[in-house]
A and B are shown apart, each in its own frame.
Chain A
Amino acid sequence: MKTEISRQPTHVLVACEGHIDGKTAPELQATLAPLFGEASAIVLDLSKVDYMSSAGLRVLLLVHRQLVAKKGRTVLVGLSESLTETMRITGFLQFFETQPTLAAVKF
């Protein structure tokens, strides 16, 4: 998994690429944790994530909860159709704000 962080005036954009699973999810968490204080919104671009495991989804939810606790906001963009469906039927989707593209996110 690779991540690329770009800081914008309104938010921090984190673009992820590759697998997010039991091995890489802790890295993602470590990458995101220091950003919590920086911006009120973290946008995760997942359009280049080709595999998301149960542990991956759990880290996303954890990050989201931690950010909400600090009055922040997480937005997931670019979810594939199959990832959206997996998240829907396992109950994860409802916790998140999702947008098809970055341009669709309102700040």
Chain B
Amino acid sequence: MDTRIDVYPTHEIAGYPVRAGRPLPFGATLVPGGVNFSIFSRHATACSLVLFEKGATEPLAELPFPAEFRIGDVFCMIVFGLDVEEIEYGYRMDGPFDPARGHRFDKTKILSDPHARLLAGRNVWGAEPDWSAPYPHRARIAFDDFDWQGDRSPGIPLEDLVIYELHVRSFTQHPSSEVKNRGTYAGLAEKIPYLKELGVNCVELMPIFEFDEFENSRVNQETGERLLNYWGYSTVGFFAPKAGFAATGRLGMQMDELKTLVRQLHEAGIEVMLDVVFNHTAEGNENGPYISFRGLDNQAYYILTPEGYYYNFSGCGNTLNCNNPVVRAFVLDCLRYWAAEYHIDGFRFDLASILGRDLQGAPLANPPLLESLAYDPILSKCKLVAEAWDAGGLYQVGSFPAYGRWAEWNGRFRDDIRKFLKGDTGLAGAVATRVLGSADLYGWNQRGPTASINFVTCHDGFTLHDLVAYNGKHNEANGEQNRDGSNDNESWNCGWEGESSDEGVLTLRRRQMKNAIAMLLVSNGVPMLLAGDEFARTQYGNNNNYCHDTELSWIDWNRQKAFPDLHRFVQKMIAFRRAHPVLRPTRHLTGEVSSASGLPQVSFHGTRAWQADFSPQSRVLAYLLDGAQAKGGTVPDATLYIAFNMYWEPLTFELPFPPATTRWHVFANTGCPSPDDIFAPGEEPELPQQDAILVGGRSVLILVAR
């Protein structure tokens, strides 16, 4: 027998027994005997809870909230006796339609709960939706009762992370993935052994919050291809995992499937970072649909012009009003939920600079949202990574408000390494700064090299293969006459634009890919790889692949067989990074000389030992990392010598002496054909001549002293 009096109803509304609810938590929460519904709106004059039978077009019932069920700006009610698995719910809000004052209430619309943890409507990826449905993204009631079996975050220090960025569907949708459940969380789980073997220890998932792949979908008139919102950088439900990425989405079990994936990744020692998009929503501008926020309280949730139009700092139609205290709490609630309920280890914030804009859109010196996230007790172990710019012109790489916590996607690393790689002159100085963790960006405020997420490629732009196979973008398939996508690719095709059968071109491309991988993985900071780059995935020159649910996006695993040497090279480079703490400092290295070794922490060299060439003509950089001072001298490590020859001819590099009692051994030399291009850490062959070595044109050499 129930011994609490609050499990009994006090009212009956529309035939349902109810009682006044609790304002917190927001959303639909299972309580003894019923469900507590709670929703915020400051400016609504009335609100009804709309109940549906699962999948039904017409509501089952509408329950207006009596005035006494409203506490402050929150409507809350407990409804008893619901069959929670068979019910979907939404809200109907009444209030002023007065765009000049920011209000766009429309009581003809049924609105999705922004706190819904489960959303139906796009249960199976790509299934044509019913366009006339009055309520397309349907909130459902979730069980948060997953048995984690003692799971905990691997807790990998940021400096030890090797991030691997992937799109859940792209990763296994291609038949060559040979998984049972292609294109899903479960499919990704089947690839865990592959990830372990490769050696990455963090997967960064491109958006997995519920989105509508059919948003702005259109047909490319030339190719007839249906173009989709494939990447999903446009959130419909911030608390709900993308159902279409779950093999069990049709059963509404995406929560269990995603949690099972996270648990299995953790078991394999792999962390999970989510790419989260809080800068805008899927509701677009004033012509966009009513999904949720616009009809709940437009003025609170969006940054609006004085005339009531939407500011577009995101380039996607609207801008979420992240520093409104209500919205700030919403974002915090959301991230806490993913960290606590899904055991997520970190977040990468898309166009994060928007999160530092005030209610009118001006950049804040001390943005409360970013500060709250940095000091939050539940998020305290999560990695926080900013894409430190927005589409409104705010570029904060190196100056993103960090509070000692935030790391950044280092766009400068990408650009300088790309230019150096293709043979531009005068970059030796910049590259020296980049490979040592960008002290120019992250040294002045003591943030350290781990503030720098280093990458050469990411989902945005060329893949690694295309970076060395195309001079220009080839985005015709996107249906905008090649106008979309960036023109600043800093790419070089190695002598032929696109697919080639020329052995010389192909050999050079392989070497250039290895050079890029080597530079990335020896760099101080946190490396991020783009999935598939380890076996030369191509998008055939498309550098803005956001809309293709085709082989242009899907990883073709056959290429692993075509590029076994590149795959092996990447694997060994990751192993090397993990074997050498001297590559993973938490403070920027300096010229401080150790009395033990007599060497500086880092020293620069050129073709002559101890004489770096930072001249405007230089295409060469070599440096020595003192193993005796790895992690401030607390961890024993070997001394490493790393040389980049980005000149097209071979050059002889005079070598500094290895530390006493050691000899130089060759770990990697991209100028050599496989398998002599790289060795297993610990099995490097000794260099026959210890005082100089000929480094091939456009090659990277890595020596280990032991």
- Which residues of A pack against B, CB within 8 Å? 21-23, 53-55, 58, 61, 85-86, 89-92, 95
Find out whether the CB atom of B256 lies under 8 angstroms from the CB atom of A90.
Answer: yes
Find out whether the CB atom of B251 lies under 8 angstroms from the CB atom of A89.
Answer: no
Docked pose: A91 CA to B145 CA in angstroms: 12
Docked pose: A89 CA to B143 CA in angstroms: 17
A-B contact pairs, 14 of them (CB 8 A): A23-B85, A53-B85, A53-B252, A55-B84, A85-B180, A89-B181, A89-B184, A89-B186, A89-B248, A89-B257, A90-B248, A91-B146, A91-B147, A92-B256
Q: A22-B86, A90-B256 are in contact. List 17 more A-B contacts (CB 8 A).
A: A21-B86, A22-B85, A23-B86, A53-B251, A53-B252, A54-B85, A54-B251, A54-B253, A55-B143, A86-B251, A89-B186, A89-B247, A89-B260, A90-B253, A91-B147, A91-B259, A95-B147
**Closest chain B CB from A19 CB (angstroms):** 11
> Using a CB-CB cutoff of 8 Å, which residues 149-198 of chain B contact chain A?
180-181, 184-186, 189
- For A54, the chain B residues whose CB sits under 8 A away are 85, 143, 251-253, 256
Q: Does B73 interact with chain A (Cβ within 8 Å)? A: no
- For B186, the chain A residues whose CB sits under 8 A away are 89
Docked pose: A77 CA to B83 CA in angstroms: 28
> Using a CB-CB cutoff of 8 Å, which residues 37-89 of chain B contact chain A?
83-86
- For B143, the chain A residues whose CB sits under 8 A away are 54-55, 58
With beta carbons under 8 angstroms apart, the residue of A22, A86, A90, A91 that contacts B83 is A22
- For A22, the chain B residues whose CB sits under 8 A away are 83-86
**Closest chain A CB from B402 CB (angstroms):** 37
**Closest chain A CB from B142 CB (angstroms):** 10
Find out whether the CB atom of B251 lies under 8 angstroms from the CB atom of A91.
Answer: no
**Closest chain A CB from B486 CB (angstroms):** 38
**Closest chain B CB from A66 CB (angstroms):** 14
- For A86, the chain B residues whose CB sits under 8 A away are 248, 251, 253
Q: Which residue of chain B lies nearest to A25 when distances are taken between CB atoms in the complex? A: B85
- For B247, the chain A residues whose CB sits under 8 A away are 85, 89
Q: Which residue of chain B lies nearest to A54 when distances are taken between CB atoms in the complex? A: B253
- For A90, the chain B residues whose CB sits under 8 A away are 248, 253, 256-257, 260
**Closest chain B CB from A46 CB (angstroms):** 16
Docked pose: A46 CA to B659 CA in angstroms: 70
Q: Does B263 interact with chain A (Cβ within 8 Å)? A: yes
- For A21, the chain B residues whose CB sits under 8 A away are 85-86
Docked pose: A22 CA to B145 CA in angstroms: 15
**Closest chain B CB from A2 CB (angstroms):** 20
Complex A-B, nearest 10 residue pairs according to Cβ-Cβ distance, in ascending order: A22-B85, A90-B256, A91-B260, A89-B186, A55-B85, A90-B253, A54-B253, A90-B257, A22-B83, A89-B257
Q: A54-B143, A54-B251, A86-B251 are in contact. Are A91 and B263 (CB under 8 A)?
A: yes
Q: Which residue of chain B lies nearest to A95 when distances are taken between CB atoms in the complex? A: B147
**Closest chain B CB from A87 CB (angstroms):** 10
- For B145, the chain A residues whose CB sits under 8 A away are 58
Docked pose: A71 CA to B186 CA in angstroms: 33
- For A89, the chain B residues whose CB sits under 8 A away are 181, 184-186, 189, 247-248, 257, 260
Q: Which residue of chain A lies nearest to B54 when distances are taken between CB atoms in the complex? A: A22
Docked pose: A61 CA to B143 CA in angstroms: 14
- For A92, the chain B residues whose CB sits under 8 A away are 256
**Closest chain A CB from B332 CB (angstroms):** 28
**Closest chain A CB from B163 CB (angstroms):** 25
Q: A58-B143, A86-B251 are in contact. Are A91 and B256 (CB under 8 A)?
A: yes
- For B184, the chain A residues whose CB sits under 8 A away are 89
Could you mark each residue 598-615 of chain B with 1 if its beta carbon is under 8 Å from any beta carbon of chain A, else 0?
A: 000000000000000000
- For A61, the chain B residues whose CB sits under 8 A away are 147
> Using a CB-CB cutoff of 8 Å, which residues 493-520 of chain B contact chain A?
none
Q: Which residue of chain A lies nearest to B259 when distances are taken between CB atoms in the complex? A: A91
**Closest chain B CB from A105 CB (angstroms):** 24
Q: A54-B256, A85-B180 are in contact. Are A23 and B83 (CB under 8 A)?
A: yes
**Closest chain B CB from A104 CB (angstroms):** 24
Q: Which residue of chain B lies nearest to A88 when distances are taken between CB atoms in the complex? A: B186
- For A91, the chain B residues whose CB sits under 8 A away are 146-147, 256, 259-260, 263
Q: Which residue of chain A lies nearest to B264 when distances are taken between CB atoms in the complex? A: A91
Docked pose: A90 CA to B251 CA in angstroms: 11
Docked pose: A55 CA to B86 CA in angstroms: 10
- For A85, the chain B residues whose CB sits under 8 A away are 180-181, 247
- For A55, the chain B residues whose CB sits under 8 A away are 84-85, 143
Docked pose: A86 CA to B146 CA in angstroms: 15
Docked pose: A27 CA to B391 CA in angstroms: 56
- For A53, the chain B residues whose CB sits under 8 A away are 85, 251-252
Q: Which residue of chain A lies nearest to B184 when distances are taken between CB atoms in the complex? A: A89
Docked pose: A92 CA to B253 CA in angstroms: 11
- For A95, the chain B residues whose CB sits under 8 A away are 147
Q: Which residue of chain A lies nearest to B181 when distances are taken between CB atoms in the complex? A: A89
Q: Which residue of chain A lies nearest to B187 when distances are taken between CB atoms in the complex? A: A89
- For A58, the chain B residues whose CB sits under 8 A away are 143, 145
- For B256, the chain A residues whose CB sits under 8 A away are 54, 90-92
Docked pose: A61 CA to B149 CA in angstroms: 14
Q: Which among A86, A90, A92 has the highest number of chain B CB atoms within 10 Å?
A: A90
Q: Which residue of chain A lies nearest to B189 when distances are taken between CB atoms in the complex? A: A89
- For B263, the chain A residues whose CB sits under 8 A away are 91
- For B189, the chain A residues whose CB sits under 8 A away are 89
> Using a CB-CB cutoff of 8 Å, which residues 112-149 of chain B contact chain A?
143, 145-147
Q: Which residue of chain A lies nearest to B146 when distances are taken between CB atoms in the complex? A: A91
Docked pose: A85 CA to B186 CA in angstroms: 10
Q: Which residue of chain A lies nearest to B83 when distances are taken between CB atoms in the complex? A: A22
**Closest chain B CB from A12 CB (angstroms):** 25
Docked pose: A23 CA to B84 CA in angstroms: 9
Docked pose: A90 CA to B145 CA in angstroms: 12
Q: Which residue of chain B lies nearest to A91 when distances are taken between CB atoms in the complex? A: B260
Docked pose: A61 CA to B247 CA in angstroms: 21
Q: Which residue of chain B lies nearest to A53 when distances are taken between CB atoms in the complex? A: B85
Docked pose: A89 CA to B185 CA in angstroms: 9
Q: Which among B146, B189, B252, B256 has the highest number of chain A CB atoms within 10 Å?
A: B256
Docked pose: A86 CA to B249 CA in angstroms: 10
Q: Which residue of chain B lies nearest to A52 when distances are taken between CB atoms in the complex? A: B251
Docked pose: A91 CA to B247 CA in angstroms: 13
- For B257, the chain A residues whose CB sits under 8 A away are 89-90
Docked pose: A101 CA to B91 CA in angstroms: 48
Docked pose: A81 CA to B256 CA in angstroms: 19
Docked pose: A55 CA to B189 CA in angstroms: 24
